[in-house]
Amino acid sequence: MRRSRHAGFTLIEVLVSVFLLSVLSAFAYETLNYVRRSREITSASFDRLRAIEMTVHTMVADFEQIQPRPVRDMIGTAVLPALLADPRTTNLIALTRGGWPNTAGLPRGTLQRVTYRLDNGTLVREYLTVLDATLANAPVRRELLHNVGNVHLRYMDATRSWQDQWPPVGMGAAGGAPALGLRPMAIEIVIETPDLGRIVRIAEVAG
């Protein structure tokens, strides 16, 4: 009676199978890794674009609602214009805006003093809870956009000429109450970023 022989795998066949499985696993890992990186890049790009959109929207909303209300400085020795943009200061712009929501029904007005500044590559918006603030009133700080190269603002005067500061030269605080409440017709916003280049937007000042 002949004894049956059971066929098995040789050592070479096992090694080839292990090699092929390793290659397929490596391909699968690289594919999954590529998909994960692509998803992260897409998500980061979307978050970046959304942050820029929200920043520009916030600035336009502030600029469109500038009110001709000067404020007292924190020391109480001078009066600051309703809109102040002086390249000699660390602020990009300081302004009095209207339309401050009061959903909680607090005993306060609807005007708000807002300041923008560029702080180590981060565009920052600050506001005070009172208009004529003192040194005891700490501003509320909000970081709008990171990784900003530069922010440049220009102001259209009544002759439709662009000015690099406000009030324009020759119409500063010494000009009296009219100059202190003077508002531009429009403000040009230019935000420069290393990744997306220049973003330009013009906000028309109401009134």
Q: What is the pLDDT of residues 73-106, one digit of tens each?
A: 988 888 999 999 998 888 999 999 998 877 766 7
Q: Check: CB of residue 97 under 8 Å from CB of residue 111.
A: yes
Q: Tell me what percent of the residues of the chain surpass a pLDDT of 70.
A: 89
- Which CATH number applies to 57-204: 1.10.730.10, 3.10.610.10, 2.60.40.10, 3.40.920.10? 3.10.610.10
- Contact partners, residue 86, CB within 8 Å, separation at least 6: 165
Q: For the chain, what is the mean pLDDT?
A: 87
Q: Model-level pTM?
A: 0.77
Report the alpha-carbon distance of residue 136 to residue 75 in Å, rounded: 10
For the chain, give every domain's residue range: 57-204
**Region of poorest pLDDT, from 41-55, 93-107, 157-171:** 93-107
Q: Which two tokens stand for residue 79?
A: 């009066």
Segment 35-58 shows an average pLDDT of: 88
